[in-house]
Structure 1
Amino acid sequence: MAGNLPIPLEQGALPDRLQAEVARAAEYAKASRSPATRRAYASDWEIFTLWCDERGIESLPTTPAAVAIFLSSQADSGLKKPTIGRRLAAIGYHHRQAGFDPPQERTGGAAIKLVLEGIRNEKKHERPERKRPADADMLRDMLRTIEGDDLRATRDRAVLAIGMAAALRRSELVALQTNHVELTSEGLRLLIGHSKTDQAGEGATIAIPEGRRIRPKALLLEWTNAALEAAHRLNDPRISFEEGPLFRRLTRSGGLTANPMSDRAVARLVQRCAAAAGFDPADYAGHSLRSGFLTEAARQGASIFKMRDVSRHKSVQVLSDYVRDFEMFRDHAGEKFL
């Protein structure tokens, strides 16, 4: 199959002169999934192929019955519903990549659907595992643990502050570019170019107040000024800070690079600072910055719609859960007689 496109080329083999165009089309097809999704799919596929190898089952193409049994075994091992669903999606994705129909779309695919429905019913009372939010007080404690004014310290403080102030997912945080930031007299405007709920990449611009407690604007300026100076000293056009990723990976010695931080590095940073501030790092992750903003906004009485302006949730249901947690005891019906 030319260019390894995840769809069959029905017109048959293409002339050699079109191979460059086919390769470019394959790149666009690959970009239909975010890097995080592709990594997860690769891991899920490796797990499935290993499971098949251990049982002498063909993994590509595989049968609907094999997939149904695999999903059942994953459920029995204690895997959560979202992960099981993603593993099925990964199997379908890799079949399409190889030019095969996904097992769930072939004759006998109804068995997969039935098993999946059964798993969901069995696990319907399963509470999703959530990491704790890093609210404003905790974030200030975490920021205080980052000492010094070197590149790593200034970057890490800015990552925590912007991640919380903009309610960013860690994938959004590391995808920020230097030209995505606009300074204003009141704070910052931040362009979010691509996100989990905006796979088409239409983008959204959000406002970040200057702030007096966490001071996201000041901390970001400390980082950008330090990074610009470091890039100037290097005098290497490949490591310019005029464009490219906003939050950069650093060398072991703390030197600037042209590459972005990884989303996993953000998660490790949150856990490391949580531990240094006296919290259990196992309770926190990269998402704690985003949920911390929403938790604090709800506590301060912000409206769901103002929260949504920042978080960009498609549905207000998730936001209403944050608000409800803090409204449960406010003006309680039994306040005056219990």
Structure 2
Amino acid sequence: MSENNEKSSSAQPNGSCVNEDDGRDPTSSEALTLPTFVAGSGTLDRLVDTARDYARAAASDNTLKAYAKDWAHFARWCRMKGIEPLPPSPEMTGLYLADLASGLGPSPALSVSTIDRRLSGLTWNYAQRGFTLDRKNRHIATVLAGIKRKHARPPVQKEAILAEDILAMVATLPYDLRGLRDRAILLLGYAGGLRRSEIVSLDRHKNDTPDSGGWIEIMDQGALLTLNAKTGWREVEIGRGSSDQTCPIHALAQWLHFAKIDFGPVFVGTSRDGKRALEARLNDKHVARLIKRTVLNAGIRSELPEKERLALFSGHSLRAGLASSAEVDERYVQKHLGHATAEMTRRYQRRRDRFRVNLTKAAGL
């Protein structure tokens, strides 16, 4: 049973046009083929299919979906302006970015980060079609620099879920099978500082399923998670908590035991009556919905209207919560979250001792 049970134009490089609103990933069609001068064979055809599989794995599913939407939007814009999206034109790309930022058309102006993402999507899509879009071309680079200078704002960050918040959230969950699962998701995601995609991609053991994003080893002192994450493979150590009520490892063990999960995906759907675990892996959107639902039920930030409260929290609130609540040396948090730099870790810390190192006094003032 899937998540639903619970609630639940472009052209090719040769110039021939296809439906610009088609959001298909170009890596799955003719973008990877044999050269015209090579005679096909069963072995070579299988290698083409293998290469396509690797090409699809070059980015996450969410990234590929976003890039497909970026291309569809740009192709539709080109059609409305009476031009073709191929071959790439830096001049037209610059005009497109200006249109996105100006808000003069029927659509509202986009944020700088969204415009930057749209440009990345176009660059990727052109590359899959055998073209190169030069982001350093003056028609693109100068327009984008001007947009950033004029419209850039401090990043809007999601609210961190702090220790007292996560305890209040899990307290709202029942102790039926579905409640045991959701409790394990929240506590494991919080203690591990995990992305929502990392949570639902976990398998019970190594190589259990083809779509696995990692696996779990439960030990006496805690659990070791081996993750194929956004930045590559990494290990995350999650120790046991101070009590069974707040321990992520105890919550995980309870879910695995009563759900009878000893192989395959760790977090799966349940039957409508909530008494039986199914085989289908949960979608990462379940984590986001779970966070928002338990935030409301726990009364967190109850002084705000419900719509504003829901907008404050997302899957990233778990990572930000751990980074903000863990009172340890910053380098340990950085390693735990898999960040390449301490500066990235600091972006997740909503509260910290900012003036622990006082360079003013250290300089003699």
Q: Residues 293 and 3 from structure 1, CA distance in 2 versus in 1: closer, same or farther, beyond 3 angstroms?
A: closer
1:36-66 Cα shifts (integer Å, max 9, x gaps): 2111112222222222232222224442222
Given the two structures, how large is their TM-score scaled by the length of structure 2?
0.76
**Partner amino acid, structure 2, of 1:118:** G
User: What is the aligned-residue identity percentage?
Assistant: 31
Q: Following the alignment from structure 2 to structure 1, what is the Cα–Cα distance between the partners of residues 347 and 59?
A: 29
Q: Following the alignment from structure 1 to structure 2, what is the Cα–Cα distance between the partners of residues 157 and 35?
A: 26
Quick check: 271-280 or 72-81, which moved more?
A: 72-81
Alignment length (residue pairs): 309
Q: Residues 82 and 250 from structure 1, CA distance in 2 versus in 1: closer, same or farther, beyond 3 angstroms?
A: farther
Aligned runs of 1:134-149 on 2, under 5 Å? 134-149=161-176
Q: Following the alignment from structure 1 to structure 2, what is the Cα–Cα distance between the partners of residues 43 and 154?
A: 36
Q: Following the alignment from structure 2 to structure 1, what is the Cα–Cα distance between the partners of residues 155 and 293?
A: 24
Q: Residues 32 and 5 from structure 1, CA distance in 2 versus in 1: closer, same or farther, beyond 3 angstroms?
A: farther
> 2:284 matched to which residue of 1?
263
> 1:197 matched to which residue of 2?
231
Aligned runs of 1:62-81 on 2, under 5 Å? 62-76=88-102, 77-81=108-112
> 1:216 matched to which residue of 2?
248
C-alpha contact (below 8 Å) 2:101/2:111 kept by paired residues: yes
Q: Following the alignment from structure 1 to structure 2, what is the Cα–Cα distance between the partners of residues 330 and 263?
A: 37
**Partner amino acid, structure 2, of 1:187:** G
> 2:150 matched to which residue of 1?
122
Aligned runs of 1:142-221 on 2, under 5 Å? 142-150=169-177, 152-179=178-205, 180-192=215-227, 194-198=228-232, 203-212=233-242, 214-221=246-253
Q: Residues 142 and 87 from structure 1, CA distance in 2 versus in 1: closer, same or farther, beyond 3 angstroms?
A: same
Q: Following the alignment from structure 1 to structure 2, what is the Cα–Cα distance between the partners of residues 19 and 276?
A: 54
Q: Following the alignment from structure 1 to structure 2, what is the Cα–Cα distance between the partners of residues 217 and 322?
A: 24
> 2:212 matched to which residue of 1?
none
Q: Following the alignment from structure 2 to structure 1, what is the Cα–Cα distance between the partners of residues 252 and 312?
A: 26
Q: Does 1:89 align with 2:114?
A: no
1:280-325 Cα shifts (integer Å, max 9, x gaps): 222100000111111101xx3x101121231111101133456694
Shift of 1:174: 1.6
> 1:282 matched to which residue of 2?
311
SS at match of 1:94: helix
**25, 37, 41: which one aligns with 2:51:** 25
Shift of 1:172: 1.4
Q: Following the alignment from structure 2 to structure 1, what is the Cα–Cα distance between the partners of residues 197 and 99?
A: 31
**322, 342, 354: which one aligns with 1:293:** 322
Q: Following the alignment from structure 1 to structure 2, what is the Cα–Cα distance between the partners of residues 134 and 121?
A: 32
Q: Following the alignment from structure 1 to structure 2, what is the Cα–Cα distance between the partners of residues 61 and 134?
A: 47
C-alpha contact (below 8 Å) 2:268/2:281 kept by paired residues: yes
Q: Following the alignment from structure 2 to structure 1, what is the Cα–Cα distance between the partners of residues 162 and 50?
A: 44
Q: Following the alignment from structure 1 to structure 2, what is the Cα–Cα distance between the partners of residues 11 and 316?
A: 49
**Partner amino acid, structure 1, of 2:234:** A
Q: Following the alignment from structure 1 to structure 2, what is the Cα–Cα distance between the partners of residues 222 and 141?
A: 19
Q: Residues 96 and 14 from structure 1, CA distance in 2 versus in 1: closer, same or farther, beyond 3 angstroms?
A: farther
Shift of 1:70: 1.4
Q: Following the alignment from structure 2 to structure 1, what is the Cα–Cα distance between the partners of residues 175 and 223?
A: 25
Q: Residues 311 and 62 from structure 1, CA distance in 2 versus in 1: closer, same or farther, beyond 3 angstroms?
A: same
List alignment gaps of at least 5 residues for structure 1. 229-240
Q: Following the alignment from structure 1 to structure 2, what is the Cα–Cα distance between the partners of residues 331 and 93?
A: 42
Which structure has greater helix proportion?
A: 1
> 2:258 matched to which residue of 1?
226
C-alpha contact (below 8 Å) 2:324/2:350 kept by paired residues: no
Shift of 1:216: 0.3
List alignment gaps of at least 5 residues for structure 2. 1-11, 13-26, 103-107, 206-214, 301-308
1:241-270 Cα shifts (integer Å, max 9, x gaps): 433221123455545333322222211111
> 1:249 matched to which residue of 2?
269
Indicate the RMSD between aligned Cα atoms, in angstroms: 2.7
Q: Following the alignment from structure 1 to structure 2, what is the Cα–Cα distance between the partners of residues 20 and 176?
A: 29
